[in-house]
Amino acid sequence: MKKRLRKKYRLGEFRELCFEFTFEYKGDVNSPECGQFLQSLVSECIEANGLDCEGSLTDEGCLIIVTAADPTKTSEEQRQAVKTWLEGRSDVEVKAFSELHDAWYALS
């Protein structure tokens, strides 16, 4: 396949990897403490490891999708650093944590 098509379809060296996790915040999600936790998550964990994220937080829990600033360079080491950081927190319960997978195509 030509490079132009690999780039268009995000294959080969243009493949973008991500991982996702869900957690439940043990306190009130509307509290200032939850806001401080989310700020810490983004600054100390996500951005400190060269990652970007997006997600949603509800009373039922939180889903976060994470990829590197350059999605073709998301690594297992980055994924493990985020997982370790979350598991070290007493104010959240991690519900699920995925392996690295293709951000554009469904898991097979």
Cα within 13 Å of Cα(54), Cβ side: 2
Q: How far is CA 68 from CA 12, 32, 61, in A?
A: 17, 28, 23
The two structure tokens encoding residue 93: 């319960």
Instruction: Specify whether the CB–CB gap between 6 and 89 falls below 8 A.
Output: no
Q: What is the pLDDT of residue 92?
A: 94
Average pLDDT score over the chain: 92
In a domain, 62, yes or no: yes
In a domain, 107, yes or no: no
* CATH code, domain carrying 61: 3.30.70.1140
Report the domain count for the chain: 1
Average of per-residue pLDDT across 45-74: 92
Domain membership of residue 21 as a residue range:
16-102
In a domain, 8, yes or no: no
Q: What is the pLDDT of residue 97?
A: 96
